[in-house]
Amino acid sequence: MNLDPTKMKDWEIAEAAEQHMKTVYQLGEELALEKEELLPYGHYVAKIDYARAMERLKNKPSGKYIDVTAITPTPLGEGKSTCAVGLMEGLGKRGKNVVGALRQPSGGPTFNIKGSAAGGGLAQVIPLSKFSLGLTGDINAIMNAHNLGMVALTARMQHESNYTDEQLAQRGLKRLNVHPKSVEFKWIIDFCAQALRNITIGIGGRMDGFTMQSGFNIAVSSEIMAILAIANDLKDLRERIGRIVIAYDRTGKPITTEDLEVAGAMTAWMVEAVNPNLMQTVEGQPCLIHAGPFANIAIGQSSVIADKIGLKLGDYLVTESGFGADIGFEKFWNLKCRFSGLKPNCAVVVATIRALKCHGGAPIPRPGRPMPEEYNSENVEWVEKGTVNLLHHIETVKKAGINPVVCINAFYTDTKNEIEAVRRLCEDAGARVAVSEHWLKGGDGALEFADAVIDACNEENDFKFLYDLDMPLRQRIELITKEVYGGDGVTYTPEAAKKAEAMEKDPELSKLGTCMVKTHLSLSDNPNLKGVPKGWKLLVRDILTYKGAGFVVPVAGAISLMPGTGSDPAYRRIDVDTTTGKVKGLF
C-alpha cells in the first residue's frame, strides 16, 4: 500500500487499508484462539468469549504490560491512541507478539470536535466506521441498562405517589420513600447534548410520571461503564450492578438497584457486552476494544477483562489511559491496577511539540478553528518553557515506582532543534526518550519507540500505590492534589464537605477508591492555566457515590458530566456514499 498521510485524510487511509484487512478468523488463528472462543460480528470484527478463553489460558504466563499516557493535552489531544497503535506496529516490526487494548470511542467526540480516537495516519485501528459507529453495541447496552434503572426508579416514585401502602402491598411493593432531591442517577445518551443537562420530567397528569428535576449525562460517564471497565467477569459485573446506589430515601438511607428489583434486568443487557471486541491495526496487529473514554469525567480506561485476556494472548500488551498522567495514569495506577491486581512493566508519556509550545506561551488552540500560525514555525524557547509540564508528568509516573519512556509524537512540521531540546531536558530528568514517526511511517517510524519500550520492560520496577484505602477520603484528595496536580490544597463547597464527612464515617464508603473528576486541559481545575500552575487550591463542589464500581467520585471545578457540542462539529463533514454504503469524513 502506498499511503501518504500528508496528502490523505484519515478516513481515506483507513478505507484503503481495509482492502487488505485480515479476517477475524485469521486474527483468531494468529492469537491461537479456539473456534468456540471467537464470536464473529461479520468478517472483520468479533468478540472473544472471555470466560471460555481465560479458563483455558489461566495457567499461561502473562506478557509485558505497557500503559500509554500523556502530558496535559491541547484541546486537540496529544495522540495517545495514535502512539499506542504506533507502538503496536513498531513492536510488530521487531517481530514481537503484541496485542493492544484500547477504549471504544463515544459518539459524543466522534460527532463533535475531537474525532473517534481510532488513531491517525498510518497508525489506526480498522475498520474505522465500525470502530466509530457503535461497534458491536456495547455502549448501546450500557445506555439501555442504565436508563432501565432510571425507568424503574421513576415508575416506582410515580406509583408510590399515587397509591397507599395497602395498594402498593397488593401489587407486591413496599414503599421506598425516595427523596426526589436525593436522586443520584440521571439519564444518559451518547452525544454531547448540553440542552439535556437540566430538564424537568413527569410533566402532565398523574399517569405521566413523578414530576421532578432531572437531566442527562454522557453515556461513558455512567457507573455501568465504570463497572464494565473494572469487572473481572460476568458474575462480578452482576454483583456490582446490584450495589449501585440510584437514590436515597427521606431518612438518607441508600436505595440500590436491588431494592428496585431491576439489577438482574440491567445485567441482562450487558451479557454480550462483557466480552471484549477484536479488531486490528492498519498493519494487522490484533487490538481489543473494550470500555470507554473520558478520564476527566470517568475512569477512562480500557477494561480489566481486555487487559487480562490480552496479556495471555500476547507477549506484550499495550493499553492506554485517558488524557494526561494527572488524570488517566493516576486512575490506572491507583484504581485499575488495584482492582485488577496487575502490575505494569512500563509507562509511556506522550508529548507533542505543539502542546509543549502551548504550555510554553504560544496561543492556545481552539477547537473548530485553524491552528494558530505560530505553531508552524520553530520556537525552541516556547518548547523549553513548556517542557516543565512534561517533566511534571514524568515525576508523577516515577511516584508509582516506574521510570517512564517519553515518546515525542513527531509531526512533519517539528524541527530538529525543537526535538533535541525536549530529548535533552527529559534525559537530564532520568527518563528514556524516543522520537516516533508512526503517523507518517507506521511501524517503520516507531522502531526507536519500540526499542525503548522493550528495554524498559526488561527492567524491574518498584510499583506502588499513592495511597492506602485506610486513608480518610479528604486526606486522599489532598494527597492527589499536592502530589499529582501540584496544588497547594483543597477547598470544598458546603454540600461536598458534608458528603465527605458522612462518607468518612461510613464503614463501607470509607474503603472505596477515589475517582477524581477534573478538567484535562490543565493540571489545576482551571482549564486556562497551562504549564505547571502554582499557588492554587482544588475546589471540590460535589462527591458522587459509585458503590457498584467501588469508588467515590469527587467533582472538581466547573466540569460537567455532559459535554457540549461546539459550533463546528465533525458531523458537518460526515456522510455516506450511497452507492457503496461506505461512511466518509470520519477522523
Q: What is the pLDDT of residues 8-25, one digit of tens each?
A: 999 899 999 999 999 999
Does residue 339 have an active-site annotation? Answer: no
Residue 555 is predicted with a pLDDT of 96
The whole-number mean pLDDT for each consecutive block of 10 residues of the chain, a chain of 587 residues, reads 87 93 97 97 97 97 97 82 96 98 90 82 94 95 98 96 94 95 95 95 92 95 96 97 97 96 98 98 98 87 97 98 93 97 97 94 81 88 96 97 96 92 95 96 97 96 96 98 98 97 94 95 94 97 95 93 88 92 86
Return d(Cα 213, Cα 201) in angstroms, integer: 6
Among 295, 351, 446, 450, the one annotated catalytic: 295
- Amino acid found at 283: E
Among 111, 439, 536, 587, the one annotated catalytic: 439
Query: Closest Cα partner for 387 from 401, 406, 405, 369?
Result: 406
Q: Give the C-alpha distances (Å, rounded to integers) separating 17 from 13, 55, 284.
A: 6, 34, 10
Read off the C-alpha cell for 429.
530528568
Place of cell 462480578: 236
Q: Give the C-alpha distances (Å, rounded to integers) separating 410 from 86, 102, 222, 351.
A: 12, 21, 35, 9
Does residue 496 have an active-site annotation? Answer: no
Does residue 96 have an active-site annotation? Answer: no
Tell me the pairing of strands 216-218 and 187-189: parallel
Return d(Cα 451, Cα 433) in angstroms, integer: 11
Residue 144 is predicted with a pLDDT of 98
User: Could you give phi then psi for residue 54, rounded to 5 degrees?
Assistant: -65, -35
Return d(Cα 55, Cα 34) in angstroms, integer: 12
Among 82, 154, 257, 545, the one annotated catalytic: 82
Would you give the distance in Å from CA 313 to the centre of its chain?
23
Place of cell 488495584: 338
Return d(Cα 161, Cα 157) in angstroms, integer: 6
- SS3 state at 345: coil
CATH 3.40.50.300 fits 10-137+273-457, yes or no: yes
Read off the C-alpha cell for 307.
487487559
What value does the CA radius of gyration of the chain take, rounded to a whole number of Å?
24
Among 80, 96, 312, 432, the one annotated catalytic: 80
Does residue 572 have an active-site annotation? Answer: no
Residue 246 in contact with residue 256, Cβ under 8 Å? Answer: yes
Would you give the distance in Å from CA 536 to the centre of its chain?
27
User: Could you give phi then psi for residue 46, rounded to 5 degrees?
Assistant: -150, 165
Return d(Cα 364, Cα 522) in angstroms, integer: 12
Return d(Cα 203, Cα 201) in angstroms, integer: 6
Residue 298 in contact with residue 220, Cβ under 8 Å? Answer: yes
User: Could you give phi then psi for residue 104, rounded to 5 degrees?
Assistant: -75, 135
Among 47, 64, 96, 114, the one annotated catalytic: 114
Residue 247 in contact with residue 169, Cβ under 8 Å? Answer: no
Return d(Cα 67, Cα 47) in angstroms, integer: 23
Residue 426 is predicted with a pLDDT of 96
Does residue 536 have an active-site annotation? Answer: no
Among 47, 103, 186, 499, the one annotated catalytic: 103
Which of 2.40.50.140, 3.30.420.40, 3.30.200.20, 3.30.1510.10 would CATH assign to domain 139-268? Answer: 3.30.1510.10
- Amino acid found at 386: G
- Amino acid found at 239: E
Residue 75 is predicted with a pLDDT of 75
Helices 138-162, 223-230: inter-axial angle, 10-degree rounding: 130
pLDDT in tens, 275-324: 999 999 999 999 999 998 888 888 999 999 999 999 999 999 999 998 89
Return d(Cα 481, Cα 473) in angstroms, integer: 12
Return d(Cα 457, Cα 62) in angstroms, integer: 13
Q: Give the C-alpha distances (Å, rounded to integers) separating 440 from 83, 117, 396.
A: 12, 17, 30
Residue 42 in contact with residue 135, Cβ under 8 Å? Answer: no
Look up the CATH number of domain 473-556: 3.10.410.10
Return d(Cα 214, Cα 196) in angstroms, integer: 9
Read off the C-alpha cell for 306.
481486555
Does residue 441 have an active-site annotation? Answer: no
pTM for this entry: 0.94
Domain residues of the chain, as ranges?
A: 10-137+273-457, 139-268, 473-556
Beta strands in 145-253 (DSSP E): 178-183, 187-189, 199-201, 212-214, 216-218, 245-249
Among 411, 423, 482, 537, the one annotated catalytic: 411
Return d(Cα 74, Cα 411) in angstroms, integer: 15
Would you give the distance in Å from CA 289 to the centre of its chain?
11
Does residue 103 have an active-site annotation? Answer: yes
Among 323, 329, 382, 449, the one annotated catalytic: 323
Return d(Cα 356, Cα 353) in angstroms, integer: 5
Q: Which run of H or E residues covers position 98?
A: strand 98-102
